[in-house]
Amino acid sequence: MKKFVIERDLPGAGKLSPTALAEITATSCNVVANLNEPYHWIESFVTADKIFCIHIAESEEVVREHASRGNFPVTAVYEVKNVIDPTTI
């Protein structure tokens, strides 16, 4: 399985209500449950006009299938090659 960062342009994302965010969450979880592929949505970061999502999947194609079924915008998909943090030496 590979880790991906998905960039989604969504003007006004930072102003979405808790109800709207809950609806997006429910849609994503329903799509994941029905993909019939190994897939994990880890978390998403909401900024003023974008949402950045961290997903684990077999391929970019599966990530894009999730987006298509959920009617989520996809600006770009990046495969994570390494992860570093303050303990990386």
* Tens digits of residue pLDDT in 63-78: 999 999 999 999 999 9
> How confident is the model at residue 21, as a pLDDT?
96
Into how many domains does the chain fold?
1
Specify the pTM: 0.91
Please report whether residue 67 resides in a domain. Answer: yes
Please report whether residue 32 resides in a domain. Answer: yes
What is the domain-level CATH number for residue 31?
3.30.70.3090
User: What is the distance between the alpha carbons of residues 50 and 38, in angstroms, rounded to a whole number?
Assistant: 26
Please report whether residue 86 resides in a domain. Answer: no
Please report whether residue 46 resides in a domain. Answer: yes
At which residue do the structure tokens 């998403």 appear?
44
User: What is the distance between the alpha carbons of residues 62 and 65, in angstroms, rounded to a whole number?
Assistant: 5
Judged against a pLDDT cut of 90, whether residue 89 lies above it is answered with no
* Tens digits of residue pLDDT in 15-61: 999 999 999 999 999 999 999 999 999 999 999 999 999 999 999 99
Beta strands of the chain (E only): which ranges? 2-9, 39-46, 50-57, 76-79
> How confident is the model at residue 73, as a pLDDT?
95
